[in-house]
Amino acid sequence: MPSVNELEKVTRTYLPESEVKSIRRAYEFGLKAHEGQIRKSGEPYISHPVEVARILADMHMDYQTLCAAILHDVIEDTETVKEEIKILFDKGIADLVDGVSKLTQIKFDSREEAQAHNFRKMVMAMSNDIRVILVKLADRLHNMRTLDALSAEQRRRIARETLDIYAPIAQRLGINNIRLELEELGFEILYPMRYRILNEQVIKARGHRKEIIAKIRNAIRRRMRQEKATAQIIGREKHLYGIYQKMLKNKLSFSEVYDVYAFRIIVENVEMCYRVLGIVHNLYKPVPLKFKDYIAIPKVNGYQSLHTILFGPFGVPIEVQIRTHEMDDVAESGIASHWLYKTGSSNEHKSAQKRARSWLKNVMDMQATAGNPQEFLENVKVDLFPDSVYNFTPKGKIVELPRGATAVDFAYAIHTDVGNRCVGVRIDRRLAPLGTVLSTGQTVEIINSPNARPDPAWLNFAITAKARSNIRHFLKNLQSNEAESLGKRLLVRELKLLSVNYDDIKKDKMQKTLDDNHLKEEIELLRDIGLGNRNAKIIARQLTDNTETVTNKTKSKKDDKHPLIIKGTEGMVIKFPKCCLPIPGDKILGFVTTGRGIVVHDQSCPNVAEYRNHPEKWINVVWESNIDSDFQANLTVEVTNQRGMLAKLASTISEESANIVHIEMKDRDDRYTTLKFIIEVKDRIHLALIMRKVRIIKNVARISRG
């Protein structure tokens, strides 16, 4: 009873009496529903939901959220159904309780899979009503406060999940007070020894710090009075997990991190923020390049403040944050501060809501394109830890990206279609590679082409979740289409070897083959054949009821009559390995590999020997007679060490309409250097012409392919 009385006392400070009575009714209903249920700590179960509601009441959440918090376990743990809550209370409360209930853990094959599935469900629930996640965060916070009754292994698992997912979500939604406590509790459980040592160090150093903090605060206060500026000045202390993370990330000692003195100055309006900035800069010298204006360019979660670092007295650095009262509420309560200012919301709070919902929309886009829950979780984890850079579009729009983001990330941040069709970029009006890492303040212009498509190589440098998930999604669809086309060609070929036409296969025969292979559609069968997951020969026999035993010799003769024609434009399902890089005109051999399609080798490639014991994977392939594509080829040139040789070689290759993809140089000795080129050519004739031209260059000692 004392806890529900305290809850009512807090809610009466900001809610009307009728809504406080609804909260009491929810408590009485929950008390009856959970009657006889005991927590592992030995307390009556109802104490947990009441404490969850109390955490949300301290954030001044609306009465529906508080009722839902009290009732959040009744659907899951008791006989109560959603309709009953809807009748007794209202639809809003019933939907919230149902939303939280749907986030309950279910059993999966692995802990990682369970975590990924739960997180995916959490995001989908958030997209319907963001208050669902606020209840879930408060629920997790109270559970973290009361983990003592669980085993050490359970405590560690819950603490790891809290630091990996729940604390970053609280940060992303700007709920700083919950985020800090979750991090602190998680740190203490996961690393008890490190926590204890750091805590002892902080307590030991605190006495000396208090004196310095008081002197700096008084100095700022005096200068503010002289300038007739009123403000609230708070000396902040870094929390232990923040100290630990900084020590870890920057490889600093405890004293180096703890010697930074932090202050928050809270003022009446935005104009006063900038005025106070001038006052503190006048009092203590600012550290160059350490000023950040999050008022003009807010963080993605709506956080706004001016940050500056100063050279303080006694040679100590001073970290100062300057913000308005409303900005401070957003900083502490984030998106939850919206309910604090429900009536007559200021632009600052509308901005916090808009930004949080914008992030949620991006997360939902990722959810739609992610191949599986684990990939989705991996993508969002990247997105939850942004150390941001800010860039401009040519029209002056600001785009926020995580530190280390590239031009490709920028393109996808603008729009998925812009990313999918980008071919180049101008950074500050100069052409640059798409993999260029962006810095704050740069103007980025993406160059698009209607026929362009994502390159798999982009995954090597794209870092944002949106870019990576969209590239993967596009390539996956592209590979599926290409695999379907190749699969059909392979099946048609095998059926021809059995003197059967593909179009003559009866529907019931196709359906039986699909059933035998546990597939639903013909397209799935063709894709599996194209990707090498199923053998076209076996499927052809199933479709024709052919049980004839075919020897390798007979197979070879039949294959020669119906080889697979390679065009070089099949995309991702026909690959040319770097060991030999075959080109039109070379004698080639294909190998069907599971999940990758067909790998085409030059017949003279040393790696072909590996496949000699697997003739069932061989496939007779030939080049199409007229191919209008470029193919990569290896070229090794040995030259005497002379100035300008690389330029001469590059110029000669370029004059013969060949593109140089890669160059590698290695000094053989004092006299000779070996240059390895990967160039793009049309066929063997084109390559032979280039080799002839290179061979006659003075100081070229030897040239060979490979």
Distance CA 379, CA 373 (A): 10
Which among 623, 656, 687 is the end of a domain? Answer: 623
Q: How many CB atoms are located within 10 Å of the residue 9 CB? A: 11
Q: If residue 61 lies in a helix (H) or strand (E), which one and from where to where?
A: none
Look at 61 and 335; give whichever has higher pLDDT: 61
| Residue 539 included in any domain | yes
Tell me whether residue 347 is in a domain: no
Residue 350 placed within a domain: no
| CATH classification at residue 652 | 3.30.70.260
On whether both 440 and 503 belong to a single domain, the answer is: no
- Give yes or no: residues 232 and 131 share one domain: no
Q: 3-class secondary structure for 408-420?
A: HHHHHHHCHHHHH
Q: Look up residue 27 and give its two tokens.
A: 């408590």
**Catalytic member of 28, 35, 76, 515:** 76
The string of DSSP letters for 435-476 reads TPBP-TT-BEEEEE-TT----GGGGGT--SHHHHHHHHHHHH
Pick the more confident residue, 336 or 686: 686
Looking at per-residue pLDDT, the higher value among 348 and 321 belongs to: 321
pTM for the full model? 0.55
In a domain, 387, yes or no: no
Q: Give yes or no: residues 607 and 572 share one domain.
A: yes
Whether 341 contacts 67, CB under 8 Å: no
The reply to whether 384 falls in a domain is no
Given this model, what pLDDT does residue 411 score?
94
User: Is residue 162 assigned to a domain?
Assistant: yes
The yes-or-no verdict on residue 192 having pLDDT over 90 is yes
Sheet arrangement for strand 444-448: 430-432, 422-427, 444-448
What is the predicted pLDDT for the residue at 355? 54
The CATH code of the domain that includes 254 is 3.30.460.10
Catalytic residue among 6, 8, 43, 77, which?
Answer: 77
CA atoms within 13 A on the CB side of 389: 20
Q: What is the DSSP letter of 358?
A: H
Q: Convert the pLDDT of each residue in 423-458 to its tens digit.
A: 889 998 888 888 899 987 788 999 988 878 888 788
Token representation of residue 67: 């009722």
- pLDDT on residue 456: 78
Please check whether residues 520 and 643 belong to one and the same domain: no
170 and 44 within one domain: yes
DSSP-derived secondary structure letter, 502: G
pLDDT tens digits, one per residue of 565-596:
877 666 667 888 888 889 999 988 888 877 67
Are both 141 and 21 inside the same structural domain? yes
Q: Do the bridges between strand 292-293 and strand 306-311 make them parallel or antiparallel, or are there none, so unpaired?
A: antiparallel
Give me the pLDDT at residue 117, please.
56
Please determine, for residue 40, whether its predicted confidence score (pLDDT) is greater than 50: yes
Q: Percentage of the chain with pLDDT > 90?
A: 22
Residue scoring higher pLDDT (114 or 500): 500
Strand order in the sheet with 588-593: 574-575, 597-602, 588-593, 618-619
Q: Are residues 588 and 650 in the same domain?
A: no
With respect to residue 530, please indicate whether it lies within any of the assigned structural domains.
yes
76 included as an active-site residue: yes
Q: Please check whether residues 9 and 141 belong to one and the same domain.
A: yes
Where residue 419 sits, what CATH number does that domain have? 3.10.20.30
Model confidence over 76-113: pLDDT tens digits?
A: 888 888 888 888 888 888 888 887 776 554 333 445 55
Same domain, 689 and 670: yes
Q: Please indicate, yes or no, whether residues 189 and 202 belong to a single structural domain of this protein.
A: no
660 phi and psi angles, rounded to 5 deg = -90, 120
Domain-located, residue 371: no
| Same-domain pairing of 223 and 296 | yes
Based on the fold, state whether residues 39 and 185 are members of the same structural domain. yes
CA torsion 298-299-303-308 (nearest 10°) is -80
How far apart are the C-alpha atoms of 629 and 683, rounded to whole Å?
A: 9
Of the candidates 603, 623, 643, which is a domain's last residue? 623
For the chain, how many structural domains are there in total?
5
Pair of tokens at residue 457: 């190589």
Which of 249, 445, 276, 473 has its CA nearest to residue 366? 473
Which residue among 442, 463, 484 closes a domain? 463
Per-residue pLDDT band for 346 (boundaries 50, 70, 90) equals very low
Place of tokens 């602190």: 184
Average pLDDT of the residues of the chain:
81
Spell out where 594-643 has E strands.
Answer: 597-602, 618-619, 621-623, 631-640
* Structural domain span for residue 689: 631-705
One-letter identity of residue 385:
F
State the CATH number of the domain containing residue 97: 1.10.3210.10
How many CB atoms are located within 10 Å of the residue 361 CB? 11
